[in-house]
Amino acid sequence: MASGFFALLDDIAVLMDDVAAMSKIATKKTAGILGDDLAVNAEKASGFVSSREIPVLWAITKGSFINKLIILPLAFFLSAFLPVAVTIILLLGAIYLAYEGAEKIYEYVFPHHQPKAQLEVKEFTEEEILAFEKDKIKSAIFTDFILSVEIVIIALGTVLAEDITTQILVVSFVAIVATIGVYGIVALIVRMDDLGYRLIKLSKTEKSFTKTVGQILVNALPLIIKGLAIVGTIALLLVAGGIFLHNIDYLHDLLHNFPSILAEFLVGLAVGFVTLLIIKSFKKVFLSKRS
Per-residue pLDDT of 36-57, as tens digits, reads 566 666 666 655 666 677 788 8
Task: Look up the domain containing 182 and give its range.
Answer: 2-110+126-240
Q: Would residue 97 count as lying in a domain? A: yes
Q: Would residue 188 count as lying in a domain? A: yes
Q: Would residue 59 count as lying in a domain? A: yes
Q: Would residue 269 count as lying in a domain? A: no
Q: pLDDT (tens digit, 9 = 90+) per residue, 188-205?
A: 777 787 788 888 888 777
The Cα–Cα gap between 30 and 17 comes to 20
Q: Would residue 39 count as lying in a domain? A: yes
The Cα–Cα gap between 181 and 187 comes to 10
Q: How far apart are the first and last CA of the chain?
A: 80
Contact 175, 94 (CB under 8 A): no
Query: Measuring CA to CA, how many Å separate 262 from each of 106, 192, 204, 241, 274?
Result: 20, 35, 52, 9, 18
Q: What is the pLDDT of residue 291?
A: 61
Q: pLDDT (tens digit, 9 = 90+) per residue, 72-103?
A: 999 889 888 888 888 888 888 889 888 988 99
Q: Would residue 268 count as lying in a domain? A: no
Q: Would residue 20 count as lying in a domain? A: yes
Q: What is the pLDDT of residue 274?
A: 95
Contact 289, 265 (CB under 8 A): no
SS3 content of the chain, % helix, strand, coil (to 5): 85, 0, 15
Check residue 45 and report its DSSP letter. Answer: T
The Cα–Cα gap between 137 and 219 comes to 26
Q: In 3D, which of 78, 91, 56 has the Cα closest to residue 168?
A: 78
Q: What is the pLDDT of residue 153?
A: 82
The Cα–Cα gap between 96 and 278 comes to 13
Number of domains in the chain: 1
Range among 41-55, 158-172, 236-250, 254-268 rated most confident: 254-268
Q: In 3D, which of 80, 73, 71 has the Cα closest to residue 144?
A: 71
Q: Would residue 90 count as lying in a domain? A: yes
Query: pTM, whole model, 2 decimals?
Result: 0.69
Q: What is the CA radius of gyration of the chain?
A: 23
